[in-house]
Structure 1
Amino acid sequence: MNGPTLRVVGSLEEFPSAPEELTVFLAGGMRNCPDWRQEAIESLAGQWRRAGADRPVTVFSPSRVVPGRAFSQELVRWEHDALRSCDVVLFWFPRGNEKAPEQPIALYELGVAAGTFKTIAVGAEPGYVRREDLRAQLRLIRPGLPVREDLTATAGDVVQALLRTEKALGGAYSAAATLQAV
């Protein structure tokens, strides 16, 4: 065995149908900031492999640049459905440019996710203009949830959450397999 697989599903691509796959959504800055998603994917893949996990992981990696398509309600729906269906959401807020550093859609998505039982990991690069606001708000709604300063540490929080999910699912799948055998 070559270890667990990590596959990436981009905007408007079909969601996986395998129930044994764990899923992560990459939420965060998309415009007016550096493209951080590939670094996040590489960090997740390396940390997941080093953790010795068995389950495959699918990463939903949205992009505002969708070849052949203009921004549409279809893209908004895809992101909404991926956010709702994933096991863990990685939120990353990189420093933006001076004209538009806030990343309002990502802030909205974080507010929605933080107000639910959704498992989230949050990071904000030093210099992100709303970093202290993020920390203050999360202390109120998710006390104890760290806001990491680097993407690797944020990915590490995701891996730890996936490992907890994998462990919980392992018992559920073992029980289901036993029931099917009876």
Structure 2
Amino acid sequence: MSTEPLLEAPASVEVTYVGQEQPESWEAAVYLCGPTPTDPGKPSWRPSAVAALRTAWKGPGRLAVFLPEPAAGRSYPPYADQIVWEEEAMRRSDVVLFWIPREMNRLPGLVSNIKWGAWYDSGRAVLGAPPEAERMAYLLHFAEAFGVPVERTLQGAAGAALRAVGHGSHRTGGERAVPLAVWRSEPFQRWYATRRMAGCRLLDARVEWYERAPAPDADPAWLLTVTIAPGDGSAPSVCRLLSAQGQGMLM
């Protein structure tokens, strides 16, 4: 048996643009959510967010960053395909970073309101908005009520996203669908270790419900639908896992 120490993967940031395939593995994943300028003469805020994440991410391993914009020189996919890509990328992200520099006459961010409503209580949201952003009181109210980090600069929002993921945790294949908020919990790790010992593979997962931990030393509560490939080669099966606060894992 080798006695050489295991080397940590160097820190890297991989950007995935709308319509592109997701990386096969990562330590952490961040989705950049917020209004996109429709005027070609107005620059997007997302390149600056990516630059801030590149500077601050120390790894180890890969930080995946999802951008719902096309790469330079490319165009958006058909709108229905774009929506599917966005929903799938958000579902697999550890943090959904909202940056909403709202100006009602130029950058209203109406779709961002809908996405905020879907993710503010997920345990994965970070809300960023400059002080002059318009009509943000409702979003800020629920951010405070649900313990969502709030930042007033883009760099600060990027920092809050990386504080949320910490050093991340390596996940590949179907494991990428389990966000860090669930992946790190003791009930999930205990369940998953048992399945891996039996030779099973996790093909996919979806968080159906999440409630943040009531105290720093407690686990969150969550409901997770998982698709498992049994070790005996039989057909994949779907089951639901419920981790209720104070009650352990209920299946």
TM-score, structure 2 normalization: 0.58
Alpha-carbon shift at residue 69 of structure 1 (Å): 4.7
State the one-letter code of the partner of 1:147.
V
Q: Partner residue of 1:47?
A: 56
Amino acid at match of 1:12: G
Structure 1 spans left out of the alignment, 5+ residues: none
How far the C-alpha of 1:10 sits from its partner, in A, is: 0.2
Which residue of structure 2 lines up, in the alignment, with residue 125 of structure 1?
A: 130
Letter in 1 for 2:96: V
Flag the structure with larger Rg: 2
What amino acid is aligned across from residue 41 of structure 1 in structure 2? V
In the other structure, the counterpart of 1:115 is: 121
The secondary structure found in structure 2 opposite 1:91 is: strand
User: SS where residue 97 of structure 2 aligns?
Assistant: strand
Are residues 1:5 and 2:5 paired?
no
Match of 2:21 in 1: 14
Query: Contact 2:29 / 2:65 at 8 angstroms: preserved in 1?
Result: yes
The aligned residue for residue 74 of structure 2 is 67
Unaligned runs of 5+ in 2: 1-7, 171-179, 198-251
Contact 1:89–1:121 (8 Å) recurs in 2: yes
1:107-151 deviations in Å (ceiling 9; x for gaps): 11111011334x1211011211122222113223x1x32321101
One-letter amino acid of the counterpart of residue 9, structure 1: T
Q: Where does residue 145 of structure 1 map in the other structure?
A: 148
Aligned partners of 1:14, 1:116: CA distance in 2, in Å? 24
Distance across 2 between alignment mates of 1:59 and 1:151: 15
TM-score, normalised with respect to structure 1: 0.78
SS of corresponding position for 1:8: strand
Greater share of helix:
1
Number of residues paired by the alignment? 168
Instruction: Point out the structure with the larger strand share.
Output: 2
Q: CA deviation at 1:102?
A: 2.6
Q: What does the per-residue CA deviation read over 1:61-84, in whole Å, with 9 as the maximum and x for residues that have no partner? A: 111788355642001110011011
Q: Tell me, yes or no, if the aligned pair for 2:128 and 2:157 is still in contact at 8 Å.
A: yes
Quote the sequence identity (%): 25
Contact 2:76 2:82 in 1 (8 A): no
User: Residues 25, 100 of structure 1: CA spacing in aligned structure 2 closer, same or farther, 3 A cutoff?
Assistant: same
Higher RCO, 1 vs 2 (CA within 8 Å, ≥6 residues apart): 1
Q: Are the counterparts in 1 of residues 19 and 76 from structure 2 also a CA contact under 8 Å? A: no
1:9-42 Cα offsets, whole Å, 9 max, x none, are 0000001122x43211000111357511011001
RMSD over aligned CA atoms reads 2.9
